Amino acid sequence: MINKINPKVITPSLLTLCFLIVSSCGFHLRGDILLPEIYQTIYIDNQTESIISSRLRETLAENNITLVNSAKMASSIIRIYSHTIDRRAIAVRGKEVKEYEIKLGVSFSVHDTDGKIRKELQNVTNSRRYSFNNEQVLGSSNEEQILLDEMSIDIVNQIVRRLTKIR
């Protein structure tokens, strides 16, 4: 005689087991960013508008940080000095490029309203590789744009994590 497994018993048991496994591994959802009091009003000073500065503004605003239009109104100033995108071929077969590496970088520093430097020039970079197919140029260029978007999110997260450590 074969015993049948009751789905009403096994489903809650499996859910409980999955919950215990996920909670024991240290996984947790990323919550709000907890920045020190000196970052409650921020002025972002950048020479050119870039995807990094736009995403940084969005991320800070989503976390209830007040962004101001003047350095005089801010409690802290983030200066973005450079924003670079570099693409180079890393795999070539014959005369065709088969793989590219794309690098995204930004340099920034953090100042108080008196001009005193809280953190010297910081360089944050991120790179990705992707395959390139000459027969699917449109798809490859879309892939590059998706990678740039993902990399910019990673860089902004790195900048914000560094801000949490700067007093």
Decide if 47 contacts 80 (C-beta within 8 A).
yes
pTM above 0.75, yes or no: no
Question: Considering only CA atoms, which of 37, 28, 154 is closest in space to residue 102?
Answer: 154
Above 80 in pLDDT, residue 9?
Answer: no
Q: Where residue 22 falls among pLDDT bands split at 50, 70, 90? A: low
pLDDT at 3 (0 to 100) = 61
Task: Find the angle CA(15)-CA(20)-CA(26) to the nearest 5 degrees.
Answer: 135
Q: Are 41 and 74 in contact (CB under 8 A)?
A: yes
- CA torsion sign for 13, 14, 17, 18 is negative
Confidence (pLDDT) at 124: 94
pLDDT tens sequence across 50-77: 889 999 999 999 888 999 998 899 999 9
Confidence of residue 140 (pLDDT cuts 50, 70, 90): low
Q: Tell me the percentage of the chain whose pLDDT exceeds 90.
A: 36
Q: Which amino acid is at 128?
A: R
- Token pair of 22 as six digits: 């996920």
Nearest-5° Cα angle at 75, 72 to 81: 80
pLDDT at 2 (0 to 100): 57
User: 43 is written with which tokens?
Assistant: 């002025």
Range 7-25 average pLDDT: 71
Domains of the chain: 32-165 (3.30.160.150)
